[in-house]
Copies of this chain bind each other. A is one copy, B any other.
Amino acid sequence: MSVDRLIEAIEAKKNPTVLGLDPYPDHIPPEILDKHAAKHGQTLKTLQGAYKEYIFALIDALHDLVPAVKLQSACYESLGPGGVEVLRQGVLRARKKGLYVIVDAKRGDIGSTSKAYSSAYLGRVELGDTLIPVFDADGLTVNPYLGSDNLDPFLKDCKMYDKMIFVLCKTSNRSSSEVQELMAGDRPLYRVIAEQVSRAGRQLAGKYGYLNTAIVAGATQPSAIRQLRKDHPELFFLVPGYGAQGGKAEDIAAAFDKQGRGAVVNNSRGICCAWQKDDSVPFTEAARKAAIGMRGDLQKAIR
């Protein structure tokens, strides 16, 4: 089961960190940006080349430290089709390095449309009797607003191709309460969503008791994390918002079970932009140091 592979990758590296590959122009070390600008000027090609060099270097430098990467689709889409090609190549590169790859695209639509999204990111596209992989990630983030017929095509591909979905439940941003904490009956909406995710994935359980249908619960929401863990010992958590967004190791300890399993914690800027605070070493070295520091903090908090 896909969730078992993720858990085993975490245990092999003793590290539940997901390296977030969310490039923005001001995240890229100037020497990389300048090199591509010298060739392509102030164009999207400059950013496409720079993003590719930057994420490939990070993948190559950190693949022995972290079990997984998460690529934020928006960053790549913002560079147009050529940026989406960098996303595709990033997924490929990370998988080749043995990493578990999550595409953070937060897709969600009516059933027939979700099928197209699922084919793109998790499954295969059908052309006659040929099945063609497109992005072929291990996992995808999914938005729950459209209900179960949105989830169904993703579930089918999770089963057929052994993949995971991570459904938005309680997100890390400040205004997440505006919708996600509306009281639906006696419970906030995010708890209802978690219940739906659990029901949807009940036939996709792995050997450690977790499902291939996981949820997103932000590091900035410690009380929601505690509540969700109590409600759903069977749901694996993707925890964004660690570091730059304010989430701390002790805030997320409750996401983990007694065996230290149950969650992966994403950090993007805190690792990838560590060079901005420590320019005495190459940027990949600064990222490694930051990742090692985070691993230590998480290990201490979980213990």
Which residues in A have some Cβ–Cβ distance to B below 8 Å?
22, 24-25, 37, 42-44, 46-47, 72, 74-75, 77-82, 84-85, 87-88, 106-114, 116-117, 119-120, 125-130, 132, 134-135, 143-150, 168, 171-180, 182-185, 189, 192-193, 196, 245
Contact of B111 with A25 in the complex, beta carbons under 8 Å? no
Contact of B74 with A130 in the complex, beta carbons under 8 Å? no
Q: How many identical subunits does the complex contain?
A: 2
Q: CA–CA, A150 to B173, complex, Å? A: 9
The 9 sampled A-B contact pairs (Cβ below 8 Å) are A44-B132, A78-B117, A80-B85, A81-B87, A106-B107, A147-B176, A150-B175, A183-B184, A183-B185
Q: CA–CA, A149 to B177, complex, Å? A: 11
Assuming the A-B contacts A42-B130, A127-B47, are A148 and B178 also in contact, with contact meaning beta carbons closer than 8 angstroms in the complex? yes
* B residues less than 8 Å from A125 (CB atoms): 44, 47, 78-79
Those 10 A-B pairs whose CB atoms lie nearest each other, nearest first: A147-B175, A147-B178, A182-B184, A74-B116, A42-B130, A81-B85, A110-B173, A78-B120, A149-B175, A81-B84
